[in-house]
Amino acid sequence: MSASLDVQSLGKRRRRALRVFCSFAVAAIAAFTLGAHPSNSRGVLTAIGILLAGGALWSFLRFLRVADSHQKLINHEATSFAFVASLLLTLIVGLLHRFGFLSGVSLLVPALMIAFWSIGLILASWRYQ
């Protein structure tokens, strides 16, 4: 009986850690998106976005600490996918920015990195079902 309660408790901790991560990530995306528009509060919004991204990183590490080996494998593949996709995105944005296109888009790259990680999670979850 205690083993099933322990598994349920671990599941609740995982869901709570993931919920906190998603909250920080969405708030950071909103701050960076609002900071991308030229305004007087651009520096403040960028600083808030950086703090929120730090909170997202902290909560993501908490989530990984309570994950089981299967979830860690899925997360590793999702992170690998997100790294490669983000590398290509950053290269493309850098090249376009150098040629005069898409100025100011560089602040949206962190938001797209989180989106790539989410896509990687979906693909890895389908693979290991």
Task: Write the pLDDT tens digit of every residue in 23-53.
Answer: 888 888 788 777 767 776 777 877 888 888 8
Tell me, yes or no, whether 28 and 83 share the same domain. Answer: no
Tell me, yes or no, whether 37 and 95 share the same domain. Answer: no
Report the domain count for the chain.
Answer: 2
- Which residues have a Cβ under 8 Å from the Cβ of 34 and sit 6 or more positions away? 45
Tell me, yes or no, whether 1 and 63 share the same domain. Answer: yes
Asked which of 46, 67, 88 is the last residue of a domain, the reply is 67
Tell me, yes or no, whether 3 and 63 share the same domain. Answer: yes
Nearest to 111 by CA among 45, 24, 26: 26
d(CA 118, CA 1): 35
Question: What's the predicted TM-score (pTM) here?
Answer: 0.58
Chain mean pLDDT for the chain: 80
pLDDT digits (tens, 9 = 90+) for 99-129: 887 776 666 777 788 788 888 888 888 887 7
